[in-house]
Amino acid sequence: MSTSAERREELRSVFEQARGCTRCAQLASTRTQVVFGAGNADADLMFVGEAPGAKEDEQGVPFVGAAGKLLDELLAGVGFARRDVFIANALKCRPPGNRDPLPAEIDNCRDYLMEQVRLIAPRVICTLGNFSTKLLRGDTTGISRLHGQAEIVTIGSRAVRLYPLYHPAAALYTRALLDTLRADVARLPALLALDLPAQPEPIVEAVLQPDPAPPSWAPQIDDGSDEPQLGLF
C-alpha cells in the first residue's frame, strides 16, 4: 500500500492532467479554471456534487457559493469542518450558464473522480443530488427515493458506504428539503463509526499520468495540521 505522501503526489499528478484537459471542447473553451476538488487528502468522508458554478469557476474551489455556505453549516452541526473532509464534483469544469451536465461530459470526467476516490480512500462518500448519485451507483434511481439510505458499493477497486443526500442548492429555499437534509446529515457520525466494508481483491489499475510540462506551482492539499490551508487543487 502506498504511503500518504505518495498518494498525495499521485493526486497532484491527476490534478495536473485535469488542469489541461480538453476532452469536453465546449467546457474547456468556456471555463476559467478546472475545479478539481479541495480538502483533506486523507479524509474518511468525501462529498461529490454535480459541477462547479460561477463562483467555483472563478475561485477554483468547489462549493464556495450559497450552497457551499449551507454545506459548511451542516458539517459544523455534526462536528466537522472543510479541513476534515474532501469535496469534489462529478464535473471539474463549469457547464455554460450552469446548465445540467451532459452524459458525455460526465463520462469524460469520470476517470478523474475515480482516481480521487482511489487515492483519498474515504470510508463514506456522500453524493449530493441526482447526477453524482446516479454516476456512482451506476443506476438511474433518483435522489428522492435514495436520500438518507446508506449502501455498500464498489467504486473502482474500493468498497465504500455510499450515502446519497439532497444537494444543498435544492434545500436553500425549500424548508422541507432543508429539514430532511439536516436529518440525513445528522446520521453521518454513526456511519463513519461503522467498520470499513470488506474490500474486494486488489486489481491492477492504470494510473493517470501528468502532462509533459506541468506548471511550476503545486496545489496545496490539507494535511490535517493546525495550520489553515485552502486546499486548492
Can you give the pLDDT at residue 152? Answer: 97
CA-CA distances (angstroms) from residue 100 to 80, 118, 161, 222?
29, 26, 26, 30
Residue 195 — left, alpha, or beta (φ > 0 → left; ψ -120 to 50 → alpha)?
beta
Does some domain include residue 231? no
The yes-or-no verdict on residue 1 having pLDDT over 90 is no
Can you give the pLDDT at residue 222? Answer: 47
Where helices occur in the chain by DSSP H, the ranges are 4-19, 25-30, 54-59, 66-77, 103-120, 130-137, 143-146, 168-171, 175-185, 188-192
- Reading the block at residue 94, the C-alpha cell is 463549469
The yes-or-no verdict on residue 3 having pLDDT over 80 is yes
- Reading the block at residue 193, the C-alpha cell is 463509526
Does some domain include residue 207? no
The yes-or-no verdict on residue 206 having pLDDT over 70 is no
pLDDT: which is higher, 218 or 98: 98
Does some domain include residue 113? yes
Is residue 40 within 8 Å of residue 83, measured between CB atoms?
yes
pLDDT, averaged across the chain:
88
Does some domain include residue 46? yes
Does some domain include residue 200? no
Does some domain include residue 233? no
How do residues 41-58 score in pLDDT, each as one tens digit? 999 999 999 999 999 999
Provide the CATH number for the domain around residue 177.
Answer: 3.40.470.10
**Cα 170–69–128 angle (5° rounding)?**
40
Can you give the pLDDT at residue 231? Answer: 56
Strand partners, 162: 125, 151
Share of the chain above pLDDT 70, in %: 86
Determine the structural domain holding residue 113 and report its residue range: 4-192
Does some domain include residue 232? no
**CA Rg, the chain, in Å?**
17
Residue 4: which pLDDT band, with cuts at 50, 70 and 90? confident
How do residues 171-198 score in pLDDT, each as one tens digit? 999 999 999 999 999 999 999 999 999 9
How do residues 70-122 score in pLDDT, each as one tens digit? 999 999 999 999 999 999 999 999 999 999 999 999 999 999 999 999 999 99
CA-CA distances (angstroms) from residue 172 to 22, 81, 164, 167?
33, 20, 17, 9
The reported pTM is 0.86
Q: What total of structural domains would you count in the chain?
A: 1
Does some domain include residue 221? no
List all residues 6 or more positions away from 129 whose beta carbon is below 8 Å from its beta carbon. Answer: 49, 50, 143, 165, 166, 167, 169, 170
Nearest to 92 by CA among 70, 117, 75, 111: 111
Nearest to 116 by CA among 43, 34, 14: 14
